[in-house]
Amino acid sequence: MSIEVKDLRYVYSPGLPGETVALDGVSFEVHDGETIGIIGHTGSGKSTLLQHLNGLLKPASGDVYVDGQCITDGSVKLVEIRRKVGLVFQYPEYQLFEETVAKDVAFGPRNTGLSEEKIETRVKASLALVGLNYDEIGDSSPFELSGGQKRRVAIAGVIAMEPSVLILDEPTAGLDPSAHREILSMIELIREKMGIIIIFVSHNMADVAALSDRIIVMDGGKIAMEGTPQEVFSHEKELSAMGLGVPPVREIMTKITAALPEIESNALTADEAATDIKKVINIPKRDN
């Protein structure tokens, strides 16, 4: 499984006074099993880009290939593409509509015309993947769940289509810290169990650093930077000019290494930072 985006261009309201170029010559590739983090401030073209990857928007020019197959030339059935590429929108809990959790999760698979037994297996499996128990909540109304649970049900609804690519647009937006942590470990579990390509957008740089194999930085409808978290977050100045930051641990370590040059570190997480500091400084055990 792979995704190839070639010279994608998209314009909102073409030929009208409100004309804006949302994507301008965007090209990149994603390989099997990769997890890609996309960052960029509001209006940089992230969401527009995501909607091209499963054919919800049609580019003005350029092509998208999913598994070598061009999905932008009109030869592939859209339902087929959407089964392959699962897209979870921002605040996906707002799309829930069925009486029960199980029925809602079944909506996607049912649209692809699966048999009832297969649908049920999928519903159970995808609920388990997002950390929910079918027997406990399958028959309850999705509207009675907590915010974090609702979101996981909505994500299960997309996973139940068994996509080869899972795209998540700001999956942790608006959640409290514990629900946030649950979503992160859910993403890790999906990656581990399904081994599919995951592309996610986030404003939380610590999450992006922790989860991504590669990061794509969007700015003004173009790809401004692309690389591993280490590579991308070493450009602190350029990122801040785009209204973006680096993981908080990196900020702290920049200050610490400036004050104590004997410490060498380009850590992005607290664990990495602690290891780097302990290499140089011997810290006594706490007495309490």
Partner 1 sequence: MQFIEVKDLTVEFTRIAEDGTEVKGKRAIDGISFSVEKGSFVSVIGMNGSGKSTLAKCLNGLLLPSSGDVIVDGMNTKDESKLWDIRSRVGMVFQNPDNQIVSSIVEDDVAFGPENLGVPPAEIRKRVDSALKQVGMYEHRLKGAHMLSGGQKQRIAIAGAVAMRPECIVFDEPTAMLDPRGRASVMDIIRELNSEGITTILITHFMSEAAQADRIIVMNAGHVLSDSTPRELFADMDMINRAGLELPPVVELREKLGLPDSIMTVDDMIAELRKLCR
Partner 2 sequence: MIRDITLGQYYPGESPIHRLDARTKIIATILYIIELFVVNNFWGFLIAAAALFAVIAVSRVPVKFIFRGLTAVFIIIAFTFIINLFMVDGRVLWHWRFLTITYEGVSRAFFMAVRLVLLIIGSSMMTLTTKPIELTDGLEKLFKPFSLIGLPSHEIALMMTIALRFIPTLMEETDKIIKAQEARGADFESGNLFQRAKSLIPILIPLFISSFRIAQDLALAMEARCYHGGSGRTRMNEIHFAKGDAVAAVLMVLFLAVIIASRYIPVLYK
Taking CB within 5 to 8 Å according to partner kind, which of partner 2, partner 1, none is near residue 279? none
Q: Shortest distance, CB of residue 121 to partner 2, whole angstroms?
A: 18
Distance CA 9, CA 181 (A): 35
Which partner, partner 2, partner 1, none, binds residue 189 by CB below 5 to 8 Å per kind?
Answer: none
Q: Which is nearer to partner 1, 71 or 244 (CB)?
A: 244
Please name the residues in contact with 34: beta carbons below 8 A apart, sequence gap of 6 or more: 197, 198, 213, 214
* Nearer Cβ to partner 2 (78/281): 78
Which of the listed partners (partner 1, partner 2, none) does 83 bind, with a CB threshold of 5 to 8 Å by partner kind? partner 2
- Roughly what angle, to the nearest 10 degrees, separates helices 116-129 and 177-194? 130
Of 29-37, 93-101, 144-152, 186-194, the window that binds partner 1 (rule: CB under 8 A) is 144-152
Burial of 97 (0-12, 13-18, 19+ CB in 10 A): exposed
CA distance 212 to 208: 6
CB of 17 to partner 2, least distance (A): 6
Three-state secondary structure call for residue 201: strand
Q: Which does 158 bind (CB under 5 to 8 A by kind): partner 2, partner 1, none?
A: partner 2
How many helices and strands, by DSSP H and E, does the chain display?
Answer: 12, 10
Q: How far is the CB of 218 from partner 1 (least distance, A)?
A: 13
* For partner 1, the closer CB: 192 or 285: 285
Q: Is 210 in the site for partner 1 (CB under 8 A)?
A: no
For residues 134 and 179, give the distance between their C-alpha atoms in angstroms, rounded to a whole number: 19
Q: Is 17 helix (H, G, I), strand (E, B) or coil?
A: coil
At 256, the amino acid letter reads: I
Of 66 and 154, nearer to partner 1 (C-beta) is 154
Residue with Cβ nearer partner 1 (79 or 260): 260
**Contact between 255 and partner 1 (CB under 8 A)?**
yes
Q: Which stretch binds partner 1 (CB under 8 A): 77-85, 152-160, 211-219, 269-277?
A: 269-277
Q: What is the contact mask toward partner 1 in residues 160 to 199, using x (rule: CB under 8 A)?
A: -------------xxxxxxxx-------------------
User: 5 and 52 in contact (C-beta within 8 Å)?
Assistant: yes
What one-character-per-residue DSSP string does 210-230 give?
HH-SEEEEEETTEEEEEE-HH
Check residue 249 for interaction with partner 1 (CB under 8 A): yes
- Contacts to partner 1 from residues 34-73, by CB under 8 A: 41-43
Phi, psi of 282 (to 5 degrees): -90, 115
Residue with tokens 């610490």: 256
Summarize as ranges the residues that interact with partner 1 (CB under 8 A): 41-43, 146-148, 173-180, 203, 206, 243-245, 248-249, 251-252, 255-256, 259-260, 262-263, 270-271, 273-274, 277-278, 280-286, 288
